[in-house]
Chain A
Amino acid sequence: MKFFFSSGHGACPGCSLPIAVKNVLYALEGKCFVVNPTGCLEIISSQYDRSAWGVPYIHSVFENAAAVAAGIDAALKALGRKDEGHVVVFAGDGATADIGIGCLSGMFDRNHDVLYICLDNEAYQNTGNQQSGLTPPGSNTTTTPAGKILPGKIGRKKDMVAFALAHKIPYVATASVAYPNDIRRKVKRAVEFEGAKYIQILCPCVTGWGINSNETIKVARLAVETALYPIVEYENGELVRVRKIKERKPVEEYLKIQRRFRHLFKHPKGREIIEELQRIADENAKRFGLDE
């Protein structure tokens, strides 16, 4: 059981959440206490008497994972048991960027020794694809439905990396399930820092994004190769590393294979959104120097 996360969980075939989780736990050699707010990961892995976890695990409520983790950190310190493991949160994008953002800000502000991992599947997927602050523009969700007038979500994806950096925490990074070795390295690096750490991992969702079960990794790679999902790493506020892109692909290549974006190719306002997404990708490439 080297991954500390077992078979028998209830995720959809091809779901990328377990891929992120198993590689994080592998990197930590299981030496951790996991806090997990409500969301797909919790539902698939922690039904009563059907736990997939091989490490101590607690299901918090939806909004307070960061506060529960802060409490565990304080308790371990008070009991002199810090050496027993790292405190790790696995939280969805909704739990992170919207509903739990107050507790998260408090945890960052007090700089608790916690590794907070946001599993970013770009919407509230467990309840069937409602938009969150991390849903990208143009995405067709049940709360931003593409119709006669609206072309899916209007507005941008919240910049949670900037939010984390604004708290002056020691380590902030993004990753994608397409690159598990990079996830492992970042997790090992993150826990070398004392204080709050934030890693946001792109985790495509089979049902919400409308892709085949064998496509989650391909889509997670395309998000990076189009520069829509820049892979960056900050230590003490300094940008120390980015994942360079050999030949940047046009955003259409990423959009056209997902049902959540397919309307953009027919909708009267679709072109505008595609151009906006391309502008965002170009901006990312320029800002982080992604083009090789």
Chain B
Amino acid sequence: MKITLGAVSKPYSALKMKTGDWGTHWPKVDEELCTGCGTCEMFCPDMCIEVVKVGEEEVNGKIKEIKKAKVNYDYCKGCGLCAEVCPANAIKMELKDIYKV
């Protein structure tokens, strides 16, 4: 007989909880200003802003990746911390359309 003690959940099974509708605001990243530094990613409590490669550029004869912050709106709770910590001031919190009257 097999006995299972306690309850066991699968890794990352929380991903089925889409928390993107919790907040009233969205962070919008201004790609002109974003330097791809990764500060927002290190702080986001909901693991939903990530620095990703968007292209390449040549700097002094060397190929360098261009990185920008991308928000996953399925989970973003709109806390505004990313906008607070961004050293380049590249993130603005915007009211979601459904809350505009």
Contacts and interface: CB of A to CB of B under 8 A. Distances in A.
B79 interface: yes
Given A48-B7, A217-B81, A9 B46 contact: yes
Contacts of A250: none
Main secondary structure of the interface of B (DSSP, over half): loop
A15 B14 contact: no
Main secondary structure of the interface of A (DSSP, over half): loop
Given A16-B45, A48-B7, A180-B42, A6 B14 contact: yes
Contact of A7 (B9, B15, B84): B15
A50 B9 CA distance: 7
Nearest to A177: B43
A15 B47 CA distance: 12
A49 B45 contact: no
Interface in A47-83: 47-55
Interface in A173-231: 180-181, 212-218
A14 B81 contact: yes
Contacts of A263: none
A108 interface: no
B23 interface: yes
A214 B17 contact: no
A22 interface: yes
Contacts of B43: 19, 180, 217
A51 B46 contact: no
B89 interface: no
Contacts of A15: 45
Contacts of A47: 9, 14
Nearest to B46: A7
B34 interface: no
B17 A13 contact: no
Interface of A: 1, 3, 5-11, 13-19, 22-23, 45-55, 180-181, 212-218
Interface of B: 7, 9-19, 22-23, 42-48, 72, 74-75, 77-81, 83-85, 93
14 contacts: A1-B12, A7-B47, A8-B19, A13-B22, A47-B9, A48-B9, A49-B13, A50-B14, A181-B42, A212-B80, A213-B79, A214-B81, A214-B83, A217-B85
